[in-house]
Every structure is written in structure tokens, then in C-alpha cells.
Structure 1
Amino acid sequence: MPPRWPRQPDRRDPSYRRLDDRMNFAVHVALFAAVNSGGWFWHQVQPTAVPFMPTVTLGWLALLAGHALYVFAIARYTE
């Protein structure tokens, strides 16, 4: 059963914004894991087909770290 929000969802609600930002981060992590695992598998099978895989992984990891920094350290959820 999916979690339910106890009141009408509103982006101005700090608790809702915090939960929404963390769920967006979780989706970002899941996409990173799925795309990179597939890409690295293909890179191992045929290295010449995807020679840019290390660059993609490092670049995306940097974006993911920035997203984590914002969600967990910078964002302030106050009224």
C-alpha cells in the first residue's frame, strides 16, 4: 500500500516539500543505478561500443552529489 499524505498536498507546506525533494533524490539515485549498471555491463561486453562510459558515470555522480548536498545540507524547509 502506498504511503498517504495526511492532508491536501501543497508545495508551500515545508513537510511536503522536504518529502518531495527526498523522493526526487531517490528517483535520481535509482535512475543513476539502472542506467550506469546497464552501461557498464555493455562496456564490459564491448568496450569499443561505449568508450565514454567512465565520463558519463563521473559526470552523473558529480550531479548526484550536488543534488544530495542540496537536499540534505542546503535546503531549508521553514514557513
Structure 2
Amino acid sequence: MPPRWPRQPDRNDPAYRKLDDRMNFAMHVAIFAATNSGLWFFRLFQYHDWTWTVWVTGVWLGALLAHAVYIFAIADYSPVTASGKLPNKST
């Protein structure tokens, strides 16, 4: 069953943005796993020289790790004001 959101979805809602970013990351991981497992499965047949699969997997894994670092360590899910700026916490 898909996740249910208790209120009207709004990208300005910090909790919704966090959930949306994590669901996008999960989709990224699933596509990575499905594509790369297929590439390495066909590489096992060794009909052709598929040395490029190492590079595809490595570059994609690097992008996946960068995505994970952003989502879990860098992303700021503070409330957004009407002007589109983060509220000033110093006052």
C-alpha cells in the first residue's frame, strides 16, 4: 500500500519535502539495482567485451552516494516563508 499523507500535499511543507526526497532516493536505488544487475548478468555470458560495465556501475554508484549524502546530511528541511526564503532564526 502506498504511503498516505494526512493533509493536502504541499512542497512548502518540510515534512512532505523530506518524505518526497527520500522516496525519490529509494526510486533511484531501485533503478540502479535493477539496471546494474541486468548489465552484470549479461556480462557473464561474455559474448562481447563489456568492460564498460565497470565504469557505468562506478560512476552511477558515485552519483548514488552523492545523492545519499545530500538527502541524509546536507538537505535543509526548515520551513519556507511566503517570500521563498528561510526564516531568520537570529531574532
TM surpasses 0.5: yes
Q: What's the CA shift for 1:47? A: 5.5
- 1:39-67, Cα deviation, whole Å (9 max, x unpaired): 00011112625331000000000000000
SS in structure 1 at match of 2:44: helix
1-side partners of 2:61 and 2:4: how far apart? Answer: 31
- Aligned residue number for residue 38 of structure 2: 38
Query: Which has the greater radius of gyration?
Result: 2
1-side partners of 2:46 and 2:7: how far apart? Answer: 51
User: Which structure has the highest helix share of the two?
Assistant: 1
- Aligned residue number for residue 63 of structure 1: 63
TM-score (norm 1): 0.94
Give the counterpart letter for 1:67 in structure 2: H
TM-score (norm 2): 0.82
**Which of structure 1's runs of 4+ aligned residues deviate more than 4 A?**
none
Unaligned runs of 5+ in 1: none
